[in-house]
Structure formats: C-alpha cells, structure tokens
C-alpha cells in the first residue's frame, strides 16, 4: 500500500497545486518562475556560507582536529554505544548538514552502508539538526538578538536524537 502511495504522491501533489492555481485564476507558470527566481536568490545568498563551512570542515579534517576530537571523546561515547568515528560527525552536523554528508560518505566507505556503523550514521543524520547554522540563518533573517532558550533546547534535542539513533539501531539489528 505504501509503495503504491509513494509512487503517486508527488505527481498528485503537483497536479493538485496546478489545478488549484487554475481554479483560482492564478497564472501558474508565472508563479512558478517567480518562485524559482526567489529560490535561486536564496541559493546565491546562502552559497558563500555553505562554501565557507565546507572549507572549514576540510581544514579541520586535514589538520587532524576531528580525529583528535574523536580520540578525546571516544572513550566516553563508546560506553553509550557511539564509537569514536561518530564524534566528528555529531560535532560537524551541528554546524552543517552538507559538511556532515562528506563525513557520512567516509564512514560508508570505511564500514559500509549496511553495517551497524552505517545504519547508525544514517539514522543519526536523520535524528539531529544543524542547530547552530539554523539558528544563525533564521535569527539573522528575523533580526532576533536574544536567543533565550533556543540553544539549550536545540542541544537537548540533538542529544535526544543521538540517543534515539542508538536505540533505533539496536532495535533494527
């Protein structure tokens, strides 16, 4: 049932949007082009930040800092079911999901995507958020100066997501 639904959901959604636009007498093509242009402006605005983050992660990896971080905290995290190879991933994921994807690919190359490590990596990427990046982008756009409890809440949610990743991985194996 879900397989059939997943095949038709995107085309049905597109058909619904176009039909709704036509029924409401909206020029659907112009609205699409305007939205695409706005999206492109957003990409151009965010691109320097993403490039900077990717370069920073490359520097951290090449310098050995991420390996040192894994070795430093690996003993503590091993007891919780999270190997030292996940420490750099968790650290980088809080800043950039794109940069963390590079680490995920490295983990997949070394351990394989179907291994316990690969499965935990996949689930962990889905259960955590780029809290620092998200806060900076949204608060900068909204000109919020006082973040109050956002960062502690985001870090708590990240910790819960990591714990949930471990539990889900163990349940699946």
What is the pTM for the complete model shown? Answer: 0.67
pLDDT at residue 54 tops 80: no
Mean pLDDT over 100-107 rounds to 88
Average pLDDT, the chain: 87
pLDDT at residue 156 tops 90: yes
* Structure confidence at residue 101 as a pLDDT band (50, 70, 90): confident
Give the pLDDT confidence score for residue 66 in this predicted structure: 85
Instruction: Quote the CA–CA distance of 44 and 98 in Å, as a whole number.
Output: 16
* Structure confidence at residue 21 as a pLDDT band (50, 70, 90): very high
pLDDT at residue 71 tops 80: yes
- Nearest-5° angle of CA 76, CA 81, CA 84? 55
* Secondary structure class of 99 (helix, strand, coil): helix
* Structure confidence at residue 98 as a pLDDT band (50, 70, 90): confident
Q: Which long-range contacts (CB under 8 A, 24 or more apart) does 24-28 make?
A: none
| CA 105 remoteness from chain centre | 14
Mean pLDDT over 148-168 rounds to 91
State what percent of residues in the chain have pLDDT above 90.
39
Mean pLDDT over 45-51 rounds to 77
């Amino acid at each position: 049932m879900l397989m059939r639904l997943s095949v038709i959901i995107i085309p049905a959604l597109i058909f619904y949007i176009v039909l709704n636009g036509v029924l409401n007498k909206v020029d659907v093509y112009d609205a699409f082009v305007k939205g695409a242009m706005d999206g492109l402006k957003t990409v151009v605005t965010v691109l320097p930040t993403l490039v900077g983050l990717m370069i920073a992660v490359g520097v951290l990896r090449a310098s050995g800092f991420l390996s040192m971080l894994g070795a430093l905290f690996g003993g503590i995290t091993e007891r919780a079911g999270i190997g030292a190879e996940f420490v750099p991933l968790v650290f980088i994921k809080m800043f950039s999901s794109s940069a963390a994807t590079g680490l995920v690919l490295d983990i997949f190359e070394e351990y394989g995507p179907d291994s316990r490590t690969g499965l935990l990596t996949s689930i962990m990427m889905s259960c955590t958020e780029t809290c620092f990046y998200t806060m900076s982008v949204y608060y900068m756009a909204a000109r919020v100066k006082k973040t109050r409890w956002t960062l502690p809440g985001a870090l708590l949610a990240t910790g819960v997501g990591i714990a949930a990743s471990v539990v889900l991985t163990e349940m699946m194996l």
